[in-house]
Every structure is written in C-alpha cells, then in structure tokens.
Amino acid sequence: MNVMLNALVIAATVLGSAMALPQARRLARTRSTDGVSPTWVGVSLALNGWWLAYGVAAHVWALVPVSAISFLLYLSMAVVFVRSHGRRSLRPLLIGGLGLGMIPLPFLVFGGWASAGLAVGLCYGIQLLPAVIAVLRSSELGGVSAATWLIAWTESMLWLVYGIAIVDVALVVAGIAGVAMSSVILVKLSISGHRPLDAIAPRATAARWRKAQPSLS
C-alpha cells in the first residue's frame, strides 16, 4: 500500500509540476493570450502559495515541490501578460491574486490550518473557474494549451485518489474540483475543433484522421 501511495505522490508531483509548463511555454513563445484568463493566472499564483504553506504546516511534504514550481511558472505567465498588455492586465491579475486568492485567509485566522486547507481545496475550483469561463466565452482559443488541461485532469485524479487514501479532505475536494473543471475545458476544445488529444500523440492522431478520409484516387 505504501509503495502504491508513494508512486501516486511521485506521479502527481511530476504532473503537477508540469501542468503549467505547456501553457507558460506557449505564452512565452507566441505571446498570444487568446482564450487565456489573466484572472486565472493571478488566482493560480496565489493559491499555489497557499498550497506551499499548507504543505509545510500540515507536513504534506509532497505538496511542497509541486507548489513551488507551479508558483514560479504562473509568475512567468503573469510577466507575459504585463509585457503583452501593459497596465490594463494588472487589474484582472490583482483581482485573481488578491481577491479570489485570499479567500482562505479568514479560514486560517479563525480556524487554523485545518480549516484553511479545506478552503484551499475548495478554492481549487475557484482557481480554475476564470479559465473555464474564458474558454466558454471565447471563440478564439489559439492561446489555450490543451496539454496543460490534459495534465491538470490527470493530476487532479491522482491527488483525489491519494487524498482518499490518506483521508485528507483538502486534497479530495481539490481533486474533484480539478477533474470537473478540466473536463469542461477539454470538452470545449474538442467540440471547437482543437483536438486536445493531439497534445499527447499528434502524429498518431493525424495518421488516424488521414486514414479515415475518403481516397481521391
């Protein structure tokens, strides 16, 4: 059992650290922010800070490396938004970081880290909500990285299973929220023709698509 749990932690940590990487690379490379929510970037920055603090306070050490790496990646996305859009990007970034991202604070003040951890878990759904809204409202999704949301779905499922195994309510709630929100984005990408599975095996998907086409000869 311990071997299985350790394997889950390692897999979830690696995926969690990698989740934001495709989106950060896409923004840095293309400078296209179409379909990407700066509010999501701001709240993700704040909540990864919360997960880092919770991991240390509750001795859930598996959360520490993934939270620290993710914090830096979301910080790089925030820098891209500011460089691309100037001061007008600061408002949604601050709304996410200092508004939505500070929801766990009163729980920490009045209930300690046990209550704050549950709030952080609930806030994972809030963290992803701006990204979901931006994708649902936008017809231009060229800036959205499907790989990020495939990783997010898988990572959330792993943390959900791990949270159930160690009876950590914060991780269970966060896992459920992550699976639900990521699923919405992946479905929208699929029905809008972006083929999110291409992020896993683009050549294989393209080959299957070509075989399915009628021959012109």
Q: Which tens digit of pLDDT belongs to each residue from 8-31?
A: 777 877 777 777 888 888 888 888
| Under 8 Å between Cβ of 73 and 24 | yes
Residue 178 clears pLDDT 80, i.e. is over it = yes
Identify the three-state secondary structure at position 155.
Answer: helix
Using a cut of 0.85, tell me whether the model's pTM lies above it.
Answer: no
Please give the average per-residue pLDDT across 205-211, as a whole number. 47
Task: Tell me the CA distances in angstroms from 73 to 26, 38, 118, 162, 203, one per residue in order.
Answer: 12, 14, 24, 24, 28
| Under 8 Å between Cβ of 87 and 93 | no
* Domain boundaries of the chain, sorted by first residue: 2-212
Please give the average per-residue pLDDT across 87-115, as a whole number. 89
Residue 105 clears pLDDT 80, i.e. is over it = yes
Share of the chain above pLDDT 70, in %: 85
DSSP codes of every residue in 184-209: HHHHHHHHTT--GGGGT-HHHHHHHH
Q: Which two tokens stand for residue 95?
A: 């709304």
Residue 149 clears pLDDT 80, i.e. is over it = yes
